[in-house]
Amino acid sequence: MHQPKHGACLTPLPPAGGVGGGPVGVGAGNKPSPCPSRRREGDFRTIAQMLGLIIAILSSQSVAHAAPVVLSAGPDKVAVTLYRDPDRGEGAINRDDPTAFALIAETRTVTLPPGVVTVRFEGVAGGIVPQSAILFGTSPRERNRDAALLSQGGLVDAFTGQHVILRRTDPGSGKVSEERATIRSAADRMIIDTPRGAEAVYCTGLNQTLIYPDAPATLSAKPVLSMTTKDQPGGTVTITLAYIATGFDWDATYVATLANDGKSMALFAWLTMASGDETSFVDATTAAVAGRVNRSAATRDDTGRDARNRAAWLNRSAGCWPAGTTSDVYSPPPPAPPAPAPMQVMMESADVMVTGMMRRELKAAGAPASVVAKSEELGDLKLYSIPVPVTVAARSQKQVAFLQKERVTGQLVYHARIDEAEPGGPQMLFRFRNRKADGLGDPLPAGKAVVYQDSGAQDNFWGRMVVGESSLPDKAVEEEVEMVFGEPANVTQETETLAGQGDKWTDHRITIRNANPFPIRYEIDLPTRSSTQFLNLPGKLLAKPGKRVWAVAIPANGTTRLTYRTTPTGE
Amino acid sequence: MRMIRRMTTLGLGAGLLALPATLLAETAQGDVSVTIYNNNLALVQDVRQVSLPGGRSRQEFLDVSAQIRPETVTISGDGFGIVEQNFDYDLLSPAALMQKAVGQTVTLLRTNPATGAESRERALVLAANGGVVLRIGERIEVLRDDGLPVRVIFDSIPPNLRARPTLSVTLDARTGGARPLTLSYLTPGMAWKSDYVALFDEKAGKIDVQGWITLTNNTGTTFTNSRALLVAGNVGQVQQYGGYNRGEAMRPRGNRPGTESGAENGRGQQLGDFHIYPIEGRTTIANAQTKQVSFLDASGVPAHKGYEFRNGWMASTSEAQSVSSVLKFSNAKAQGIGEALPAGTVRVYMRDARGQAQFIGESEIPHTPGGSSLALRTGDAFDVKVQAVVEKRDVITLDEWEKYARWKVTYSDGRTEEAYAERPKTFYRTTMRYIVTNAKPVPVSVDVVQAGLGQWWWWRDVRVPEESIKGTQDNADERSWEVPVAANGKTELTVTFLTPW
């Protein structure tokens, strides 16, 4: 028997090891207890964090696994590293159910009595993948994650064959009557035995419910992670618990502001982080990893998901009289899927973060972000760490700057591409090389970009205009980057097939008209290898990997033509 | 039968209420041993002390796996014979209860919703097909058609309707008395696999590897205080459709099975062709539980990183693509592991600038015997990319001629004539360019692999007259080159292929 030194309140907890462990932690609300409920984690955590609550259990039988249970209510320190879903491509983060994951490392302090001890870890992320857990600072005999949940179905299963109380309330008079009953079958097809005979309790249409004497020790509100130590001398130990949790994602969000002359842009980038988890990580050391991380389909929590689904989708009257009116009338509708959580895009005002709403004020040169995530090499990946602790709140999205470049020089290009014989419609893009000399030279993780341009009106009266949206794949230093952001309105391309078609060849003409009051650069890509061969092209073509480029400057309000002949290569 | 056992707990400190005593469902299981295989299969052996009366008796076995495969049950013990084995899965439900009551009389208890007054009637159940048709006195009525509350009270529950599927055995004992009875059966719902933690120190060129056995129990049943043995391998279930190696082709190069027995350092043992992993002591495998025990802890295992780019076809990529980062090590005894690695997931970590372990990727491995070379793809390198470009492709005709048809004509006078046709050998000449770039501040070496060279037999005549770096023809389908790239540099590899297609 180990006694908590500061024992203000003792809450015995079941060992997570399983059945037959020990006494029940919290009654099902049948008696007012001065002890805080296990489910009211808020109060409980602070006490437990201070004390490192030790719970000892007396057992009437000597069961080897009935080790004392020590509760670790929450981490002292936590680090969260988010990963991007590589298969999301250019799609947006699914805020309701983020599809990637995070590595969460929690530093916890626990005081252990000597001997074999079970430590229960509470306050872990709901999306924990239990098999990924690593424990630094201890080498346990075994680790367990129990997902037998306290629910209506769980209670019925635990009390099958046992006595419960059936309580019936008369809706007219409010009169309550109670009766002893024995549960004979499962929750979704419940039959009870009363002294009068057998009854299907949820098929009667009466207002009745079952009252249980206690909550079984083996059931818990949430899946519980625990470890059982080897025989150890006891004392205070610091354990780092690291695990992968699903339900997180991040993305790079670029804000590009084109200069009016189209020769440079200001580039600003946000680390947009989303957590769909139910647990908040307060003052966490937060980072994000860029680059593609190989994943295994086995890293997921099937057991926990199945247990949650089974508990959530109980239909009590599913087994009522065959196709009878009973089930039609009284079958409760299936529980509605959880309402989408309100999007907490805005963070508390005290946060150092600048949020999306404030983007408008971010001028090309002004309003620098005061906190910028720093990038470092992590093997072949990039790690962006936020230099100050931040709170990764439950079901929220958060943004921190990671890149601020005032002037990245490049080129505004109107661009079309020929795949077979004639080009597709022209697009506008900004092309730059990711290098120091041109004002950049930092790795650019994949993400979306919003491209702005000052309206150019007098005094910038209209502020900025959105000229388009774009997306980038991962781009390393020295790579050429093309931000395709839209279709031009003032530059048109007309294609026609000319008369005099030969047996195996066709002549084409493209007419490009620039209605802008300024000159533009126009490019057409011709693949070096396709089912079509291009002949009679003008002399000067740029060679790029896999293609030749016809590039031309079109003067303000000018027109240019390109004629060429195509012939099939026979492939 | 389950029973309620009351226990007391001492409360300390301010609370001091005797906390609610607990319910402890006592299990009907005896001394349980569970042998768990990788492929969702477990063998449960349960030695129960059973008191048998002399002669024939029916024994019910509670607390067996809820997913038991009843046809695999065997019961052994002394002094009795088995008459029959039954598995009853006619489950007790409102519908089943009503259907069994057809032709019988039930009690209806009506409650007046306004007054609460109860009235009682006996009713004969005529049918239960879409609405329960009842004869009450001289009238016919459909149960609860009016939507008003009615309690239907059945006099008894038919004996073969069960709360849960139940295994029962009729035994014929020579003499009465208690004796151990061994119940053994197979059940799905339990499986295990391995989870490895590999902490990679790139500078030192070493990894620390921990291996965990992860066991999951979704049988619906808790196995209390059991001995557990895990067997590495997919045992006892013949693959009906012939096993196919899922993802095998996509594993990076450098994986080679070893020949060491591999039960040297860890907790594993070898039993016949299998590696077995006993769990120390006794453990309770609770329902809906994921249990992990350590079986391997090795540190300072030499490891290095490689890069691989695989072009599956002689095609261009429109943009440069990141190459795969591949972690290579061996589980040979001499390298520090010396243990077979059962199938599972290897998660690789590296320490960041602050010393915190960060996850850099994971990879699944098959059962890996000792002494194997492993090459695990952890992810893509952000800074190392390859762009494959088809530079040129044209048809060439060699001076060489080949026979492609031959025939023999036999005339009616017995004269024969032979002839053949020839044509010049035609090849396609494809010039590939692989542009390998490295934005890392250190030089790297990338294995560039061109696949798709000889997938069918008539494609096998592939020649490589020119290549800027000497390549290796790994097999008919793949040729590879080790391309060195300087720090922040670029290397171009050009290769000319002559192919018959």
Q: What's phi and psi for A50, nearest 5 deg?
A: -70, -40
CA-based radius of gyration for chain A: 33
Q: Say if A216 is an interface residue toward chain B (CB within 8 Å).
A: yes
Q: Which residues numbered 40-79 in A keep a CB inside 8 Å of some CB on B?
A: 57-60, 63-65, 79
Number of residues written out for chain A: 571
| Residue in chain B nearest A160 by alpha carbon | B163
**pLDDT reading at A340 higher than 80:** no
Question: Which residues have C-beta within 8 Å of that of residue B142, sequence separation ≥ 6?
Answer: A324, A325, B131, B132, B133, B134
Contact between A298 and B17 using a beta-carbon 8 Å cutoff: no
Q: Is residue B108 predicted with pLDDT exceeding 90? A: yes
- In tens, the pLDDT along A377-404 reads 999 999 999 999 999 999 988 899 999 9
Cβ contacts from A onto B, under 8 A: 420
Q: How far apart are CA B85 and CA B81, in angstroms?
A: 11
- Most confidently modeled range among A46-50, A327-331, A389-393: A389-393
Would the CB atoms of B20 and A205 count as touching at under 8 Å? no
As a whole number of angstroms, the distance between CA B400 and CA B414 comes to: 35
Q: Which residues touch A429 (CB under 8 Å, ≥6 apart)?
A: A412, A413, A415, A470, A482, A483, A484, A485
**Is B313 within 8 Å of chain A by CB?**
no
Give pLDDT tens digits for B254-302. 888 888 876 655 566 777 778 888 888 889 999 999 999 988 899 999 9
B359 to A244: CB separation less than 8 angstroms, yes or no? yes
Gap from A558 CA to chain B (nearest CA, Å) = 31
**What are A473-487's pLDDT values in tens digits?**
999 999 999 999 888
Read off the pLDDT of residues A186-216 as tens digits, 9 standing for 90 and up.
Answer: 888 899 999 889 999 888 888 889 999 999 8
From residue B195, alpha-carbon distances to B41, B119, B198, B258 in Å are 19, 64, 10, 20
Please give the residue that has the higher pLDDT: either A260 or A436: A436
The span from the CA of A535 to the CA of B58, in Å, is 92
Which whole number is the average pLDDT over A66-81?
90
Which of B114 and B458 is assigned the larger pLDDT?
B114
CA A302-A303-A309 angle, 5° bins: 85
* A82: its two tokens: 């988010």
Contact between residue A495 and residue A510 where contact means Cβ atoms under 8 Å apart: yes
CB of B474 within 8 Å of a chain A CB? The answer is no
Q: CA B329, B331, B333, B338 torsion: positive or negative?
A: positive
Can you tell me whether residue A389 is helix, strand or coil?
A: coil
pLDDT in tens, B134-154: 999 999 998 888 888 889 999
Tokens linked to B174? 């020579």
Is the CB of A184 less than 8 angstroms away from the CB of B157? yes
The one-letter code for the residue type at A5 is: K
**One-letter identity of residue A459:** D
CB-based contact, A549 to chain B, within 8 Å:
no
The three-class DSSP label of residue A10 is coil
Strand spans (E) along A291-366:
none
Residue type, A304: G
Structure confidence at residue A91 as a pLDDT band (50, 70, 90): confident
pLDDT exceeds 50 at position B432: yes
Nearest residue on chain A to B292, judged by CA atoms? A143
* Ramachandran angles phi, psi of B410, nearest 5°: -110, 120
* CA-based end-to-end distance of chain B: 75
With contact defined as beta carbons under 8 Å apart, do A134 and A242 qualify? yes
Name the band, by pLDDT with cuts 50, 70 and 90, for residue B130.
confident
Give pLDDT tens digits for B444-453: 999 999 988 8
Q: For residue A235, what are the β-bridge partners?
A: A112
In chain A, residues with a C-beta closer than 8 Å to the C-beta of B357 are: 105, 134, 136, 242
% of residues, chain A, pLDDT over 90: 43
The 10s digit of each residue's pLDDT in B460-490 is: 678 888 899 999 988 888 899 999 999 999 9
Q: Which two tokens stand for residue A278?
A: 């139910």
Contacts made by residues A483-486, CB under 8 angstroms, sequence distance 24+: A483/A256, A483/A429, A483/A430, A483/A431, A483/A449, A483/A451, A484/A415, A484/A427, A484/A428, A484/A429, A485/A428, A485/A429, A485/A430, A485/A449, A485/A451, A486/A427, A486/A428, A486/A451
Chain B residues with CB inside 8 Å of A186's CB?
A: 91, 163-164
CA distance A543 to B388: 15
Mean pLDDT within A175-195: 90
Nearest one of A288, A289, A291, A268 to A390, comparing CA atoms: A288
Using CA atoms, how far apart are residues A294 and B250, in angstroms rounded to an integer? Answer: 12
∠ CA B162-B168-B171, nearest 5°, is 150
How far apart, in whole angstroms, are the C-alpha atoms of residue B112 and residue B134? 20
Q: What residues pair up with A465 in beta bridges, in sequence order?
A: A453
| Residue B150, beta-bridge partner list | B110
| Model confidence at A291: pLDDT above 50 | yes
pLDDT for res A54: 37
Mean pLDDT score across all residues of chain B: 84
* Distances A445 to A250, A266, A431 between C-alpha atoms, Å: 11, 17, 17
Top-confidence range, A217-221, B10-14, B487-491: B487-491
Q: Check if A191 contacts B (Cβ < 8 Å).
A: yes
Q: What is the pLDDT of residue A191?
A: 92
The pLDDT, as a whole number, for residue B460 is 64
DSSP B130-158: SSEEEEETTEEEETTTT---EEEEBS---
What integer pLDDT is reported at residue A570 of this predicted model? Answer: 62
How many CA atoms within 13 Å lie on the side-chain side of A531? 6
So what's the pLDDT on residue A459? 63
Taking only the tens place, the pLDDT of each residue in B380-417 is 999 999 999 988 888 877 666 677 778 888 888 888 88
Cβ–Cβ contact B22 with A under 8 A: yes
A210 within 8 A of A193, measured Cβ to Cβ = no
The answer for A 392-421 residues in CB contact with B (under 8 A) is none
From the list A415, A485, A476, the residue with the least C-alpha distance to A446 is A476
* Helix/strand/coil percentages in chain B, nearest 5: 5, 60, 40
Q: Would you call B153 and A197 a contact, using CB atoms and an 8 Å cutoff? A: yes
For A205, the closest of B150, B224, B382 (CB atoms) is B150
Q: Side-chain half-sphere of A435: how many Cα atoms within 13 Å?
A: 11
B 122-141 → A contacts, CB under 8 A: 128-132
Are A111 and A359 spatial neighbours (Cβ–Cβ below 8 Å)? no
Least Cα separation, residue B275 to chain A (angstroms): 20
Of A105, A142, A292, the CB nearest to B356: A105
**Does the CB of A295 have a partner CB in chain B at under 8 Å?**
yes
Q: Which of B125-134, B207-216, B232-241 has the highest mean pLDDT?
A: B207-216
Contacts of B144 in chain A (CB under 8 A): 205, 321, 324-326, 329
